[in-house]
Structure 1
């Protein structure tokens, strides 16, 4: 009773919002009634909302009446036909048709009237109720989604069936929200899917959506935007806020939208909204000088009628597409309707209000006048009686409603459900008492439970076009034959409209060769284009808003045994792609995995039982990104739609940099997985206590350091400047160099770290050192930082014009190697520069593999498009970040890339993959025999593999013992690569022709082998790098030979001094900790701190401890422990350089553990970080 009262109150509020014409009467639209024993209520928008409400019809106007008139007449035609055949014995079907004219208020009014007719008490309404209640089975309509929504809301809780024939909004399909709303029309989700498939077929990946601000338009826009973005199609962001069109708006709104579309450069435009507003939008486009030649349109089905466009609207639309309902025309009804109109033109009178509607339709559609009472309002000169039947037929066929079939299905659905109720409840013809006493809920159940196939055996009056159609509702929506097209795709050409495709709910068939669009020539005349020449709608500029920042790109191939690769595809911002070498490293990984999969080359003997897969990720050359990758892998996070089973992992390949290797290696220590780096050289990883599962295919920094210092010793360069990068790689090389300087009799003039001082300070320090004799500069950085430093020195050289900067000799590392990108533009300054390249030949087959890669055949590399744009300096079609001037040509290929050469690290990547696969294969054969012992089941081996600590320990032994054919052992006892170096020099071989020239080699076993004459020739000048002046006080004038150096003398003095300093520092630190502990206990009480964070302040050079705040609840219980202790040692790592070379105070690496309790595998994951890697924390 309470819910009933609430409903009545809501109805009263709804009706009270509608203007009343007379006191104590319910306002309602005009209607016509076809009486019957059981009746339906029909809601049809026979007129547009702009029609005058006073006379309903208003002045005759061709656009006033809508195709819904034909749908209403078709429903009447079907019901009267069934009555003539006594479809329900003794029961006549009737209908009252209301013209709600697209108005939500009028729709709510009819809903209220319907409720009153079905109830004996009038409730709180100020209206007179009819003297007797009618037998009403339900409502047909409304057609528009916004009207259907208000009717559903008004009648919610009444159980009165509402069966819409053209409301497509998917939001209304929520059965709980709209329990008594049913549909004989497909929802917009199919139309949206069809539109997205059209965009994909046309190659449109950047479009604007204009929509009407009502239920149909808003929901269509939201669904289309979401579906398009899911497919990588970007929706343009309007500069005017949005592209919505309010239902009551002026022409200015349409003009603003068109102007904004043109100015933004957007070409493809989708309109999702009501017909009359779409036509006004096209009229605004026709008024704009440039819009017709620039904008390409796709319209929703509301505008897909054959006669929806004409005149200026068709001019603006030409070349556009529309999604039209694929419902069939009903010739039998069209013949009936043509006869009806023909009789009206000949003076035959139609009874009731239908006469007014039909006469208005006739005079408007044919521009003629009738000799009727409306003649005073008729301004046409032609007499309608002169119309031929053929003329009438042509107009009726062209203006037929898209929803005619759906309207007929609604009529037959109601008729069949009423017959079912009659046959079950009544034992004789006519309306029995049980039928008359049926409640709306009973009518709803009969209708929603309908399940029949339309045949002329069961339905005596049935148009042939509906034969075989099934009427069955699922979730209140009529089911459709999946084999029949739901939509057809129309193309509006200059002089005709044709169907160019269809969509069946699953697949789009689109014949682009039949689509004609138009380009405009210099005289602004349209020129037809079709097929492959159709224009695309792409981002016209840099469209950063279109880049999906949350998108995770991976290269993935499933397999039972997964190899995971990590590569520095992008720079630390994860948006800028790194030099081409980074993509080469990924391609080397994919190449090696392909060799394994196909059992080619050195992989040919791997057991066929082993199914290898891979996952390749981008660490953005950032150590925190690397740590995130490790955490994501072992916490079970998905990569897109890919979920990785950590137990399937057999090992990691990479990363490149030492800084990125450290967090991964620290994590793998606790989860017992193997890691093989193809680029990390720092000596820290030789510590098997900290990094028990770390291996590498490259040699350690010690070998490179000795190679560099050997050259300096050979050339008599005893005084050098040292510049190193601010990451693990640079700092490790610095430490190794400082460690061996005395052994080689060399003194350092300055030691500076990039990024801790300004570029100008670096250049100035090098200049000052050069004045004191340090002409040789050791650049201990990666290639990118080396180029940045050289660029700074070049700028200083030009601005100061100082010869001291022109005489420098640069010595780079294996990261510089033979990369021309480092010296490009600085050829003269870097003349004679000495670099190192790993003494390893090119990988056979890789060059041909790489050069055959194209955008079409390299889909497994998700970053290949970015690489393509970089090397050819062009924008690909569909790219949202168009930062380059030119568009990529279709005929480009990598054979056109003249700067290609195989990167020196490619071989180290393939070696890492091959050795891991061969080691795993060897372990497999050890456990199961070379011919696979049947008793060694897959489950047995997997069980062994899942015992990670044991498995990985044995796997490491197998990998270390791998011997590549023709090359022998790959790894030393400590798991490092055993490769020497080729020594290169940047030389001007001919005038203005530069290249790297080989001048020697270095190997751990035989030492340095250098051709001094080549080196001197490459320098083309005499270079002395020896100390002179006051700065020499810190250097020995006659350094001893390395063989005479012992643990006594200077070395002993130095060590003793350092020992004393170490003891003093430890005492001070302990005192500080004790004092801090007491202070904490005084403030927080004893034992109130579980962990303390200790950090080293580089500027103030003191230890700082902070009490941890209470931990917050997290998805995983994370405990962060930090401890630090100072240790003084001239040979230790972690030197602090506060902008000047005054002291070499060292801080030992502090162990930081990140602990994830309750890991998905039941284990504990920990990761060790070091203070120098937390500067960005």
Structure 2
């Protein structure tokens, strides 16, 4: 059906016939019932009249629905559908009076219960209707209260309230029309497609309106759509007052935060007409979406209001029965047919009278122009009648065999066990087979012990119509079909969408009205204050889970979150999602991955807070997964294959303490603290990154290459920074490197770092172990406060090759950094395409943090933002991911490969422990005695993870990362010396003798090397430090252990300290302790007649430079002391 206009009957052409017919209308008491004779009856509950007296204002649509039921019964009877039996109909008018439907049902039930032995009364074996949800709730509740053996089948064709789907509460119901949850999904999908996220809702204060509003509110909340205003409209005698409606619309216009220009309406046609009239008079251009409750409003009415053009209407799919269309036209045009049908439908007379504007006997009488639409419900009324007939036909077949007419078994069922029809109905299938041609059913429905049917056929699940200028008829307006909803997806014909201004001029897509917070406004009530608490959930048969710090921590509260992270948060989340979505494609190495099962995912935001993430995990395991839309998933723990996470080492420790209690494998992608290598404490922990003890050795090797021996350490509080500090301290003595200062950095407290550094100005080489999210802030603070610039920093992998750290910090030229670089299993280009596509569908994506992330990162606002009071609109945020030179953030690739490793390893373990065909996760998988199998399967995974084209093991035997470091220096680019860039100058692999530096590439632009102790006093302190560290324990256990080694170590340390002090005193007294070259290692020392900082083409610092092919490795020392190209923790190397 292209548009509704085509299915209207123009009454002007039929006027002469109507005037003739009205003369011959027989008198009837309009409040009486209507009866079509049969061997047994269906009772129909229809509104028929809109006034409580059941005499004045006929509801043409309701009369037509009743006639549709009657016509269907007559058509089936004529075809002998139930062999030898005829179905009858008794209609009862409810007249828009609250409680009237229940009154009728009370009499029907009384007749059923107390007159079963009276053979003179035709039994009522089922109900059709009533037409409104509240009436359906009242009547079904009443019938259900009599108990199972006294139930009466009730079939609904227009009552759509979602609550009626509860078959345990409403025990006698079957429904043929889609319920309202489907409708609210369609409306939300439509708003997403239209970029509406700031709306108002008006709804009638009844079961239909309230139920739809609550469902919409719940679903809108999950899609970042804000209902900024809502109004429940009270109904009196079926009418909403104009004053009430005017107040609601003015609230939209004068809303305190921003005008609301998008409105969703859950109301009847009458209420919709009042709304259109008020809005039209107020000259307020509104975008409107009307529910199916207003679907019969008709183009003639809509054309009366200029404001109506551009409105949308959601509707169940229209079921067209052309034979009934002909039948209805015949009633209105053929006196004989009219009289025949009016005998069993006396309300037809009232319908005909509605189309005459004067006394038909008056010769001067003429009719006003009018027309009447089909309505969506009549098709479902016909379908409901066919459903009842099919149930009875199947009962006759099973009870009477091939016998015509009523048999005793069937008669007994209908009179004494009618409740059995409900059980039959909830297993019934209705299709177009073996039915009369006039009832050419366009769909098939199947019941599976539920109130609502599953629909099959060529019809969509739901439809969207748009009132606009006709596509094919110039100068007319039509309700055009613009959207079809199937499988949770709305397919919208955007090329047909239009908005209209006050002059009636149309605007085409994408320039149509968008219901959003206005420019220069802040819609504070719509901002999600619980955004950090959101969970990303994708439903699956089995699950993987992840822990990511999307937000930083609140430094004042261990259970709260701070600001959203601008790096290594959001992109890590997307990398994890990408890995799972790639596996679910079941292509390449993932062909037949977990058979037909889909892998879902759960992603939790840790906010870098140990206590917070532990609390979230315990809720997940002990309670259930609770989402913001109100849905819950219990026992989700029994479906989880494993966890990827966490980011920070202290968070991974906190997570591990929970996960290993439940026997879950855990793979971190960024936790590098050496302490996490302890498998006695962290039993089920693995990681794709390399531990910091290796990185500390790399950094100390670099210090020696720079001919320096006097350093400072700046480190973050927490496991990561403290672990890096400890690894440097424990190994520095083996390199004869002295630590002048150790400076702890607390988040958001950076002002004193400069002063602490300047306490030891001669220690110009500074090693950094800072958390990634504080590196930029710390370096920016130091850049502002250290003048003149006198330090050379060696940054850990958290600094890496991050260009954002270099931005506006030119003094960082010369800084050396380490970088862990892992290649994603799929390569960068596929992930880049994934991100590009995600951001081009940002309004429909399930990641709740995307918009906030980009707005904060780029200091702008997106179109759908609720805060537009400052800044400018964001440019195309997807475009940066459409660049062949795009490189993921540091830890993204590690997270992607961590998830790929978990997925591949867990599948192998699943097959071995549960069997490939197992529909769920078996107990063996999470059993404490079998967890080692899971870990070994994951640990054995191989991938292409670097520049090599061959597969490498992702994990070493201990479960730690198996990848080395690249070494970079910040230098001016070749094209523009003022533009900083990272230049690779060396590598540190995990192989023996794997440290190499290309010395000619090193630059020392600020001439602060070498970094050595400045005087004999400081040098002597350093010698004492090294002596003490050499004789102290070199490893630090994370947990527990015997106190005896600690006590013995302390005693030994005190003894050594005392010996050193005595020796120093003696040397100073005798003044004869002249230092040899070996003992002068930590003293200021210059050789070769010039300072090593003299101007040369390169720095002059060489240590095992990368040699050209065929050359032997060189070793050039500027000091007379011997040191190795690479030194490790083992002093024997």
TM-score interval, normalised by the smaller of the two chains: 0.5 to 0.7
Partners in 1 of 2:44 and 2:898 — Cα distance? 75
Is the Cα contact below 8 Å between 2:548 and 2:569 reproduced in 1? no
Corresponding residue number in structure 2 for 1:367? 357
**SS of residue matched to 1:31:** coil
Corresponding residue number in structure 2 for 1:326? 319
**SS of residue matched to 1:253:** helix
Q: Report how far residue 971 of structure 1 moved.
A: 8.9
Is the Cα contact below 8 Å between 1:117 and 1:133 reproduced in 2? no
In structure 2, do the counterparts of structure 1 residues 215 and 918 end up closer, same or farther at CA, with 3 Å as the change threshold?
Answer: closer
**Which of 796, 814, 822 in structure 2 is aligned with 1:813?**
796
In structure 2, do the counterparts of structure 1 residues 301 and 633 end up closer, same or farther at CA, with 3 Å as the change threshold?
Answer: closer
- 1:491 equivalent to 2:466? Answer yes
Corresponding residue number in structure 2 for 1:684? 675
TM-superposition CA deviations, 1:1108-1158 (whole Å, max 9, x none): xxxxxxxxxxxx9999999689999xxxxxxxxxxxxxxxxxxxxxxxxxx
Corresponding residue number in structure 2 for 1:529? 508
Is the Cα contact below 8 Å between 1:195 and 1:323 reproduced in 2? no
Is the Cα contact below 8 Å between 1:656 and 1:679 reproduced in 2? yes
In structure 2, do the counterparts of structure 1 residues 622 and 907 end up closer, same or farther at CA, with 3 Å as the change threshold?
Answer: same
- 1:297 equivalent to 2:289? Answer yes
In structure 2, do the counterparts of structure 1 residues 718 and 132 end up closer, same or farther at CA, with 3 Å as the change threshold?
Answer: closer
**SS of residue matched to 2:265:** strand
Is the Cα contact below 8 Å between 2:972 and 2:980 reproduced in 1? yes
Corresponding residue number in structure 2 for 1:1103? none
TM-superposition CA deviations, 1:683-708 (whole Å, max 9, x none): 43555654577676766545554565
Is the Cα contact below 8 Å between 1:920 and 1:958 reproduced in 2? no
**SS of residue matched to 2:301:** coil
Q: Report how far residue 732 of structure 1 moved.
A: 2.0
Partners in 2 of 1:575 and 1:88 — Cα distance? 70
Corresponding residue number in structure 2 for 1:69? 63
In structure 2, do the counterparts of structure 1 residues 1129 and 711 end up closer, same or farther at CA, with 3 Å as the change threshold?
Answer: farther
**Which of 717, 720, 724 in structure 2 is aligned with 1:726?**
717
Q: Report how far residue 104 of structure 1 moved.
A: 1.0
- 1:287 equivalent to 2:263? Answer no
Corresponding residue number in structure 1 for 2:1018? 1036
Partners in 1 of 2:668 and 2:713 — Cα distance? 26
Q: Report how far residue 78 of structure 1 moved.
A: 8.0
Corresponding residue number in structure 1 for 2:817? 836
Q: Report how far residue 269 of structure 1 moved.
A: 3.8
In structure 2, do the counterparts of structure 1 residues 658 and 890 end up closer, same or farther at CA, with 3 Å as the change threshold?
Answer: closer
Corresponding residue number in structure 1 for 2:21? none
Is the Cα contact below 8 Å between 2:724 and 2:769 reproduced in 1? yes
In structure 2, do the counterparts of structure 1 residues 35 and 87 end up closer, same or farther at CA, with 3 Å as the change threshold?
Answer: same
In structure 2, do the counterparts of structure 1 residues 310 and 634 end up closer, same or farther at CA, with 3 Å as the change threshold?
Answer: closer
In structure 2, do the counterparts of structure 1 residues 366 and 631 end up closer, same or farther at CA, with 3 Å as the change threshold?
Answer: same
In structure 2, do the counterparts of structure 1 residues 442 and 887 end up closer, same or farther at CA, with 3 Å as the change threshold?
Answer: same
Partners in 2 of 1:106 and 1:596 — Cα distance? 55
Tell me which moved more, 997-1006 or 168-177.
Answer: 997-1006
Tell me which moved more, 852-861 or 157-166.
Answer: 852-861
- 1:782 equivalent to 2:771? Answer yes
TM-score by length of 2: 0.63
Partners in 2 of 1:660 and 1:550 — Cα distance? 17
Corresponding residue number in structure 2 for 1:984? 969
Q: Report how far residue 408 of structure 1 moved.
A: 6.0
Pairing 1:184-263 to 2, within 5 Å after superposition: 187-188=179-180, 191=183, 195=187, 209-223=201-215, 233-239=223-229, 242=231, 246=235, 249-261=240-252, 263=255
**SS of residue matched to 1:497:** strand
Pairing 1:78-97 to 2, within 5 Å after superposition: none
Corresponding residue number in structure 1 for 2:49? 47
**Which of 742, 745, 753 in structure 1 is aligned with 2:744?**
753
Structure 1 unaligned regions, length at least 5? 1-27, 122-130, 373-381, 798-802, 928-938, 1059-1095, 1097-1119, 1133-1177
Q: Report how far residue 1019 of structure 1 moved.
A: 0.9
Corresponding residue number in structure 2 for 1:994? 980
Corresponding residue number in structure 1 for 2:881? 894
Is the Cα contact below 8 Å between 1:718 and 1:747 reproduced in 2? yes
Pairing 1:483-522 to 2, within 5 Å after superposition: 483=457, 485=459, 489-494=464-469, 495-500=476-481, 512=493, 515-520=496-501
TM-superposition CA deviations, 1:144-196 (whole Å, max 9, x none): 22233334455653756666553333434545544556666554456556556
Q: Report how far residue 254 of structure 1 moved.
A: 2.2
TM-superposition CA deviations, 1:483-529 (whole Å, max 9, x none): 26476543322433245268698688967167442243xx7543142
**SS of residue matched to 1:104:** coil
In structure 2, do the counterparts of structure 1 residues 471 and 449 end up closer, same or farther at CA, with 3 Å as the change threshold?
Answer: farther
Corresponding residue number in structure 2 for 1:146? 134
Pairing 1:352-391 to 2, within 5 Å after superposition: 361-362=351-352, 364-371=354-361, 383-384=364-365, 386=366
Is the Cα contact below 8 Å between 1:776 and 1:808 reproduced in 2? yes
Q: Report how far residue 914 of structure 1 moved.
A: 10
- 1:856 equivalent to 2:843? Answer no
TM-superposition CA deviations, 1:352-400 (whole Å, max 9, x none): 9998x6676555434333349xxxxxxxxx944x45xxx99x73xx244
Partners in 2 of 1:982 and 1:304 — Cα distance? 72
TM-superposition CA deviations, 1:646-702 (whole Å, max 9, x none): 9997x9877554334445666788899987766554443555654577676766545
Partners in 2 of 1:190 and 1:286 — Cα distance? 30
Is the Cα contact below 8 Å between 1:491 and 1:499 reproduced in 2? yes
Is the Cα contact below 8 Å between 1:449 and 1:473 reproduced in 2? no
Report the number of matched residues: 949
Partners in 2 of 1:32 and 1:139 — Cα distance? 14
In structure 2, do the counterparts of structure 1 residues 597 and 564 end up closer, same or farther at CA, with 3 Å as the change threshold?
Answer: farther
Pairing 1:98-137 to 2, within 5 Å after superposition: 99-111=93-105, 137=124
Corresponding residue number in structure 2 for 1:822? 805
TM-superposition CA deviations, 1:772-823 (whole Å, max 9, x none): 76665543313332322234445656xxxxx5x7545544333213322223
**SS of residue matched to 1:238:** strand
Is the Cα contact below 8 Å between 1:210 and 1:244 reproduced in 2? yes
Q: Report how far residue 334 of structure 1 moved.
A: 1.8
Partners in 1 of 2:663 and 2:320 — Cα distance? 63
Structure 2 unaligned regions, length at least 5? 1-28, 470-475, 554-560, 628-632, 913-921, 1052-1133
TM-score by length of 1: 0.61
Q: Report how far residue 253 of structure 1 moved.
A: 3.2
- 1:464 equivalent to 2:462? Answer no
Pairing 1:914-925 to 2, within 5 Å after superposition: none
**SS of residue matched to 1:492:** strand
Partners in 1 of 2:908 and 2:392 — Cα distance? 77
**Which of 260, 266, 270 in structure 2 is aligned with 1:276?**
270
In structure 2, do the counterparts of structure 1 residues 110 and 873 end up closer, same or farther at CA, with 3 Å as the change threshold?
Answer: same
Q: Report how far residue 725 of structure 1 moved.
A: 0.5
Is the Cα contact below 8 Å between 2:818 and 2:967 reproduced in 1? yes
Partners in 2 of 1:998 and 1:843 — Cα distance? 20
Partners in 1 of 2:454 and 2:660 — Cα distance? 59
In structure 2, do the counterparts of structure 1 residues 282 and 132 end up closer, same or farther at CA, with 3 Å as the change threshold?
Answer: farther
State the Cα RMSD in Å: 7.0
Q: Report how far residue 731 of structure 1 moved.
A: 0.8
Higher relative contact order (CA 8 A, sep 6+): 2
